[in-house]
Structures are given as structure tokens and as C-alpha cells.
Amino acid sequence: MIKKFDKKDEESGSGSNPFQHLEKSAVLQEARIFNETPINPRRCLHILTKIIYLLNQGEHFGTTEATEAFFAMTRLFQSNDQTLRRMCYLTIKEMANISEDVIIVTSSLTKDMTGKEDVYRGPAIRALCRITDTTMLQAIERYMKQAIVDKVPSVSSSALVSSLHMVKMSYDVVKRWVNEAQEAASSDNIMVQYHALGLLYHLRKNDRLAVTKMLNKFTKSGLKSPFAYCMLIRIASKLLDETEGGHDSPLFDFIESCLRNKNEMVVYEAASAIVHMPNCTARELAPAVSVLQLFCSSPKAALRYAAVRTLNKVAMKHPSAVTACNLDLENLITDSNRSIATLAITTLLKTGSESSVDRLMKQISSFVSEISDEFKVVVVQAISALCQKYPRKHSVMMNFLSNMLRDDGGFEYKRAIVDCIISIIEENPESKETGLAHLCEFIEDCEHTVLATKILHLLGKEGPRTPQPSKYIRFIFNRVVLESEAVRAAAVSALAKFGAQNDDLLPSVLVLLQRCMMDSDDEVRDRATFYMNVLQQKQKALNAAYIFNGLSVSIPGLEKSLHQYTLEPSEKPFDMKTVPLATAPITEQKTEIAPVATSKLPEKLAPSRQDIYQEQLAAIPEFQGLGPLFKSSEPVQLTEAETEYVVRCIKHTFAGHMVFQFDCTNTLNDQLLQKVVVQMEPSEAYEVVHCVPAPSLPYSQPGSCYTLIRLPDDDPTAVSCTFSCTMKYLVRDCDPNTGEPDDDGYDDEYVLEDLEVTVADHIQKVLKPNFGAAWEEVGDEFEKEETFALASVRTLDEAVGNIINFLGMQPCERSDKVPENKNSHVLFLAGVFRGGHDVLVRARLALADGVTMQVTVRSGDENVVDVILASVG
Amino acid sequence: MDSGTFEPSLYTVKAVFILDNDGNRLLSKYYDPELYPSMKEQKTFERNVFNKTHKADNEIAFLEGMTIVYKSSIDLFFYVVGSAQENELMLMSVLNCLFDSLSHILRKNVERRCLLENMEGVFLVVDEIIDGGVILESDPQQVLQKVNYRVRFLSVIPQNLLYQYNHWKFKQKTSVLDCRNTNQCRCLV
């Protein structure tokens, strides 16, 4: 590289770059001639250029040397050379943050901005505003106001743009210039119009009414500048979005009318705005799609790109709307700009038929290596969507993905591919073996720890259940030999799973684990020793509890409980049952691939919803001593959405109690509610222990009150109950404007809808990755079986959905998805009953004239089995 | 590539840069302080952009979550960068204005040597087109009028001759470089 450089310099002569070997110190030395009289404009200009060039190259200037140069430069204001003066302005702007005391040039700049030379005035304003702070701004406010309405466009534009920059710093001062900006907005010059509109919007954007007024004014009067039109369209669509205005509003009409503008820029902006609107119907999209279709055949690459990128977005939500453009898109798949071609193909993949998939895939694989990572991710996303649409095409896709996996690419790209392959494996059992084989090959040479551990985990889960589990062992053990600690530890866990499930592999796995016990890393050694001992017991129950199905507690909860335990030394061993369970099982989350732009954001480990509730409830003294929070339900609405008071309830279940949290909102602006409680009348033997009132409920500020209920001890099967609820409170009327309440109030009440507690509130979802093992682990000591006929249900899908909702348990082994065209299905459900008893349900469903269901329940506690069966019946 | 409406704003341009045909920075301006705040990040970004774009003159690309429009002339590359949601045609109008203005003040000799000889003019042109990320002017005629810059040395040499000389020189250079890569030439050397 360096060699090539030297060669080139020789060839083109040393004069090729006058700035090639600039030395900062030498340039600063030269800058001394600024002090000579008379000033030599030519030489000074050259030195200023050198300084700016150096700054631009990233040369670091110390404060002292920069200040020195800056002060020398101020002398150049004596010269009347135009270019030199303009370069002085540039230098001031570049050095504003480096040099000290830059405000010394304020008076010179003020003189130029109000002087006779129009060429100086605009740039002088911009330079001046760059070095001005809030206090100084007041001093030049008068000049700024004059400049904004100046009849010379460049002066007005400069003043408007500089004001915009200063809004961030001194909003209050700039706000006073609204009238001047308003006047400038009616200027004939297109750029002044645009800048005035931008400034006006920034000053008013928090006042929706003012923005609406402004929009009305400008959409009616019409503007000349295409830039200003684009800005108006953006403001209009934002306003539509915020007000959730219907698409019959004048704003929508305005945006649509822009589709017929003369300028392509405006037409595209309008089309893009319509496409991005949420809940747009196909009919509303049609005009936007047809202008985009026209752009597809434009000779300008940027326009084609813009059109096809926007069409690609439409295709995500409304594939049918884009079908009309298929022919135009076909022409673009061989476009020399690969970005355009990729977008065209991925759009076609979304809109086209199954038969065109092979052809398109072939086309795209011919240039996939030429496109940037961002677009490769787009391709993978399209493939992933395609696999869900056409499951039969998975072999083509899998082949393609494995080729992509072998190519070079960044982490985001590889992760997208791996996620896509994993989702294909989960959707199509027949693709499992090829998919696993590709992934095995990938981890042989994978630099991303996260991906390697993810794949190893998957191998441990799926591998043992394939016809030939032994072939994966080699891949996994290679990792133990070659990789970093995290990967080695994951590999050890995967190995253990093979040993636990396949008896004939057990001896070899034990030998391998023996070797892992010599590992240099603590975690790897610990895991190996632990699994070794568990496996040597050869007990199914132990395997199930400690190898297949890991801990199902919430990690932050466990951390807190352990911390608490160490603070209070006691003789008792730590009890895992006191730890709150994890709420949303990790695999339950939709594996949606994050959009490219947002994927850069760091993923935060947010505490789960239940952990937050746990904190909140623990802070209330009345609820201390209830033990860990077992489950929090989804909120239940107890009022209509549009009533005076809006109340919703969250049911929190504890070991022997329930807490009902009522989130109330007062929607009357002339009332203040105080001492709000919800009185509950149970239908069964439940006992209301305590009410915690919400002290005060002002207009539109939500508040919570709580009611504590003791669950009946003597009858463990009484799990369901209906409560009639009434909200009681003290009303104080108040002034709607000031919120000042009257001195005295009166008691009032408000009847809420009934609240039901069902069996689902007593069961927490727990995912058992290996249901079979868990089933064996619980054993058949308390097994009960019963058969039911579900007469009202017509399909298996519906039946499965109903059972899951009713019992509130976690479906395992992906048994919540009923394969198509089947007459029977087995549903596996797992959960933990209040009090910490595992409960497992196996429901065999058969479809014939309604659905027949045979339910088998296993649990460690007999009562629980009875409760479940009783509630199903 | 995120969807949804974004905050309407005049801040359209995230960055502008001019590179030579080795990918070295001749001029660059970053207007968003959150985007590549350090010089090292900026140069890496420029390097990535250059590697992806210098082979084919495709006008537009999407890299690192940013829309980039570009244009090349002899041994120069001009880039204008905007956010992913930005109107591509707006960025294009900035690029065209920059190129046309420079082409005019350099008397159509848009190449590295000539550009460097008139660097102060280039700085002034960029300053007139974009101010802190806001498009200040998009009409080349207006820009030229405002900058009012006279080229220093070119007037001596007839324009077309110089252009042809530069073009020839560039061709030569590339052909020599190409030759160097083939085995045949290596034997001769």
C-alpha cells in the first residue's frame, strides 16, 4: 500500500497535492505574516486555506496555538479582499470550539452583517451566530430580527438558519422572532420560504393547535419551494399520526394532492408519507403505489432506488397492493446497482407466487457477494418470511442459507441467518437434520461466541432426538477442545444432554466429560463435574430435573432472595420455592428479526413485569409477610373505556393470599377524588382482609388502590370465585382550569363490573424444554385421567387455544401448533401451582363431530390434580 | 430502515465528503455530532464507503444504516450522507448542486489536482450549500453568485487541453496499474 503511494507521487510529480506534507508547526509559523503591513491577501489566503485543510484532516490544535492563530487572523479584517474575508469567516467557524475568546470578533462581524456589501452579510451572520451564546444573543437580537426580514434572500436565509441552530441553546430568545419568521415565510424566494417554515415549525412544534393553523395556512396559500412542500408533508403526516385523524381529513387530502406535484421530490415524499401511515387501506395506497411504479423505470438510479425501497415496505404489509408493479420490478432485478436489484428481488419474493421462488433465488445468489451487509440482512429477512409462507420450499432456502453462512459477513448478518435457519427447523420437522448439519458446519469456524453458544444449546435440545445422535458428538467435543470458555461451557452442557437421553451414548459421553474435568476454566470444570455425577446416578428423575429442564425461576428474583438469605443467617437451608418464578418464558417471544436501523441499539436487560410489581407491592407495609409474589395477571378492564372513571384490575397471587391492584383514572376535570377504595363482595368463602386506599386521584393522573384477600385454607379445591366490586370515594368539586378543589366534599360510589378469579390465576406458566423427561420425573403417584366432550368446539386449533387460555399453563414441545389436516393431536402443558407444586397436563384431542378430549394430569400433590380436573369439568 | 414518521426537521444532511481515488479525504464535514464523533470513526466510515462504492458508479448506496448518494469524476469521489428515512432526491439535489458548482468554478476540470489548487473555493462552495446540516442553497447559479470566486491559475492553459491531459494521465496511470497485476508484466519488470 505504502509502496503504491510513493510510486504515484513520483508519477504525478510533487506538485500534485500542495497540502501533501503540511506540518502544523510550519503553518502556524507562516501565519505570522498576518501581522505584516500591508497585508498580502494572496499569501494570507493560502495560509488560511492550509489551516482549514489541516483542521479538516483531523489535525489537533492546542488551545494556546489555536488562540494565537485566531488572534493573528483577526487582523485580516483590515483587508478588503473578498475571498480572504470569506475565508476569515470560515476560520472563525472552524475554530469557534478550539480557540479561546472568539467573541473578540463580534464587533467586526456585526459591522459586516449590517454593512453595505451583500456578499458579506449572510456569511457574517452565520459566523456570528456560531460564536454567540445566550447572553450575547440579546445584544444582537435587533440585528437578527432585521436580517430575518431583509429583502436580500441570502441574508434572510442565513438569519433564519442560524436562528434554527440557536433554538436548542436559547429557545426563549428565538421564540420572540416568530413574527419576523412569519413574514419571511411569505417571501418570493424558495429557500427563504423553506427555512422560514422550518424555523416556525421548530418554534411551535409543542403547540399542536398552532401547527394545525400553520399547516392550514400554507396548504391553502401554496408554496413555491419543493423543499418546503416536503417539509409540509412531513409535518402533516406527523400530525395525522398523533391525532389519529381519519384518512378523510383535509391533511390526508393535502398529502394526496402532492402526488400530482410537478416536482419528483415532492411526489416521492408524498408517496412515502402515505406508505408509512399506519392502517392505510389498499385503496388509499393505490395512487401512491402507481407513482412509485412510474419511478421504477426512471433513468435516475436514486429515483429507482427510492421507489423500490418504498415498494419493499409496502410489500411487507400489503403484498397484494404491489402485485401490479411486478412487471416493473422484474426489469429491475438485473439493475447494475445491486442495492436496487436486491430490493426488487426481495419485494418480488414477498409478492410473487411460489413458482417464481426458484428463479429469483438463483438470480440473487449470483450477486449476493457484491452487496453490503445491510442488504444481505434484508435478503435473509425476506427468505425467513418466505419460509413461513411456503413451507414446502424449505430445501431451496436451506441450501441458499447454508451458502450464505459460508460467505464472509458481519455479526448481524450471521445472526440473521442463524435465526432464520433455527426458525425453519422449528417450523418443519423434516428439515431438522439438514439444518442441524449446516449449523454444525458453521460452528466449526465461528468467531461469534453468542452464535456458537446459541447453536450448541439448540444441538443439545434437538440433537439427542434425531435418528443418529452420535454424529453430533464430534462437532460438540471439537468445541471443548478449540474454543473460548463460554463456548466450552455450553458444549459441556450439550454433551450432558446427549448422555442423559441416549443410553448407548452414555459411556462415551462420560469419558468425554471426564476429560472436561481437567479444563483450565472453573465454569467448564464445575459443569463437567456436576453433570458427571448426575449422569452416573442413572436416574431419570434426576436427569429431568437437572439436565433437561433447567431452573424456571426469575433470575433477578433469585439474586434478591439469595442476597436476603445471606443477610439473615439461619439454620434452615435455602428454599428454592420461595423464589418467584420467571414470567415470560424466553422461547415464547416472537423471533422477529429486528429492523436494520434499530439493531444497533444495545439490548437492555429489562426487569420483567412481575419483578416490577414485586418491588411495588413489597413497598406497601400491609403486604409484607405475604411471601414472594407468585403470579400477576394481565390487567382486566372493570369499566368501559369511555366512562367517567376508568378502572382496571391486576390480580397478584401469593402463596395464601391474593392482592387486587385497581388502577383508577379520573377523567373528569372538575372533580378531585379522595380516599378511593374498591369494596369487594366475594361469592365464596374468601375473606377480605384489608383495603389500601388511593389517597387522592386528581384529573387524568392514574392512581392505585389495593385489596387484600385471604384464600380459604380448609378447602384447597375452592379456586374460582366471583367478586362484585364497588368503588367508594370522597368527591371534591374543583375548578377545571386551576384544579383548585372546594373545601368540602361528599361521599359517592360507582359500581364496577364483576371480577372473576379462575384456576388460571393459581397456576404459573413454566416451560419444560423436555416434556417427556419432566413427565417421568413427576411420576404417576397422583395421576388422574378423565375424558370430556367439547361439543361447542369445531376445530382442534380452537380447542387447543381454549384449553391453554383456561388453564393458563405453558404449552411445551410446540404442541400448541396443530399440524394441518390432522384429526387428532396431543397437547402438553406445564405449570406450577400456587404453593410450588409442579403440574403437568397431557390432553389427547380427537376431532369427530365436535372434539373429544382425554385429560391426564400429574402433579406432586393430589389436591392440585383434583383442582385441575374439577375445573376442566 | 425503520418505519414510521420521523421528526420533521430541516437537518437533512448528516455528512459531506470528497475523497480522491485512493480513498483519502480531501474535504469532509460531519453535521450530526452524534454520528461518528471521533476522527477515527469518521475515517473508518469513509474507508468503508469508499470500498463499497468506488468500483461501480451506482449513484446511491445504503451503508451502516445511512443513505449515501455519490458521484465520481476522473479521480474524485463526492459523497452526501443522510439518514435512512431521508428523501433520497433531496440528498441528490445537494450532491448535484455541489458537483455543478465545483464544476463551474473549476472550469469543468473536476479532478484532484485542480480541486486542491482551488481548495479555498471548494470550502466556500460547501459552506454556501450546507450550513450545519441544513440545505442553504440548491441552485448552482445562486451558489456561484454568492461565492463569487475566481479561479487562480487555470486561465493560462486552454481548458480542453488540460482536461484531455488529465484524462490521458489518469488513463495511463490506471493502465500501468493494471499491467502490473498481470504475470506478463511482472516477468518483464
Q: Which residue has the higher pLDDT, A206 or A713?
A: A206
Query: What is the pLDDT, as a whole number, of residue A593?
Result: 35
CB-nearest to B2 from A58, A268, A597 is A597
A802-856: per-residue pLDDT in tens?
A: 888 888 888 887 777 777 777 888 888 888 888 778 888 888 888 877 788 888 8
Question: Is the Cβ of B135 closer than 8 Å to some Cβ of chain A?
Answer: yes
- State the pLDDT confidence band at B77, using cuts at 50, 70 and 90: very high
> Lowest-confidence range among A418-422, A713-717, A729-733?
A713-717
In chain A, pLDDT over 70 holds for what percent of residues? 92
- Whole-angstrom distance, CA of residue A574 vs CA of residue A569: 10
- State the pLDDT confidence band at B155, using cuts at 50, 70 and 90: very low
- Whole-angstrom distance, CA of residue B124 vs CA of residue A52: 11
- State the pLDDT confidence band at B18, using cuts at 50, 70 and 90: very high
> Lowest-confidence range among A78-92, A260-274, A493-507?
A493-507
A720-732: per-residue pLDDT in tens?
A: 788 888 888 888 8
Burial (CB < 10 A; 0-12, 13-18, 19+), residue A20, is: exposed
Average pLDDT across chain A, whole number: 81
The domain locations on chain B are 13-173
CB-nearest to B113 from A16, A53, A265 is A16
A497 and A461 Cβ atoms separated by less than 8 Å: yes
Task: State the Cα angle at B36 between B32 and B41, rounded to 5°.
Answer: 155
Query: What is the pLDDT, as a whole number, of residue A427?
Result: 77
Mean pLDDT of A272-285: 84
Query: What is the pLDDT, as a whole number, of residue A873?
Result: 65
CA distances from B12 to A237, A567, B132 (A): 17, 57, 10
A374-405: per-residue pLDDT in tens?
A: 778 878 888 887 777 777 777 778 888 888 88
Query: What is the pLDDT, as a whole number, of residue B109?
Result: 84
pLDDT above 50 for A489? yes
A623-644: per-residue pLDDT in tens?
A: 877 777 788 888 888 888 777 8
A120 and A85 Cβ atoms separated by less than 8 Å: yes
**A301 interaction partners in chain B (CB closer than 8 Å):** 58-60
Complex prediction ipTM: 0.81
Mean pLDDT of B158-176: 59
Does the beta-carbon distance from A276 to B149 stay under 8 Å? no
Question: Is the Cβ of B158 closer than 8 Å to some Cβ of chain A?
Answer: no
A560-591: per-residue pLDDT in tens?
A: 778 777 777 677 777 766 666 665 444 333 33
Query: What is the pLDDT, as a whole number, of residue B96?
Result: 94
SS3 letters across A388-430:
HHCHHHHHHHHHHHHHHHHCCCCHHHHHHHHHHHHHHHHHCHH
List, in sequence order, every residue forming a beta bridge with A191; answer none if it has no partner.
none
Query: What is the pLDDT, as a whole number, of residue A600?
Result: 35
Cell of A690: 384489608
What 3-state class would DSSP assign to A128? helix
Q: Is A766 left (phi over 0), alpha (psi -120 to 50) or beta?
A: beta
pLDDT above 90 for B135? yes
B139 and B100 Cβ atoms separated by less than 8 Å: no
Does the beta-carbon distance from A157 to B137 stay under 8 Å? yes
Alpha carbon of A201: minimum distance to chain B alpha carbons (Å)? 8
Q: By CA distance, what is B86's nearest residue in A?
A: A269
Most A-contacting residue of B36, B87, B172 (CB-CB within 10 A), to test interface: B87
- Among candidate residues A740, A718, A743, A719, the one with its CA nearest the CA of residue A730: A743
Q: Is A335 left (phi over 0), alpha (psi -120 to 50) or beta?
A: beta
Mean pLDDT of A606-614: 69
pLDDT above 50 for B186? no
CB-nearest to A276 from B5, B58, B88 is B5
- State the pLDDT confidence band at B80, using cuts at 50, 70 and 90: very high
Query: What is the pLDDT, as a whole number, of residue A382?
Result: 80
**B5 interaction partners in chain A (CB closer than 8 Å):** 234, 237-238, 241, 273, 276
- Whole-angstrom distance, CA of residue A415 vs CA of residue A400: 15
Query: What is the pLDDT, as a whole number, of residue A125?
Result: 92
CB-nearest to A58 from B10, B39, B91 is B39
Question: Is the Cβ of B35 closer than 8 Å to some Cβ of chain A?
Answer: no
In chain A, pLDDT over 90 holds for what percent of residues? 7
CATH assignment of B13-173, among 2.10.109.10, 3.90.226.10, 3.30.450.60, 1.10.3720.10? 3.30.450.60
- Whole-angstrom distance, CA of residue A89 vs CA of residue A123: 7
Query: What is the pLDDT, as a whole number, of residue A411?
Result: 84
pLDDT above 50 for A499? yes
Alpha carbon of A345: minimum distance to chain B alpha carbons (Å)? 16
Mean pLDDT of A777-792: 81
Does the beta-carbon distance from A303 to B64 stay under 8 Å? no
pLDDT above 60 for A599? no
The pairing of strands A746-751 and A721-733 is antiparallel
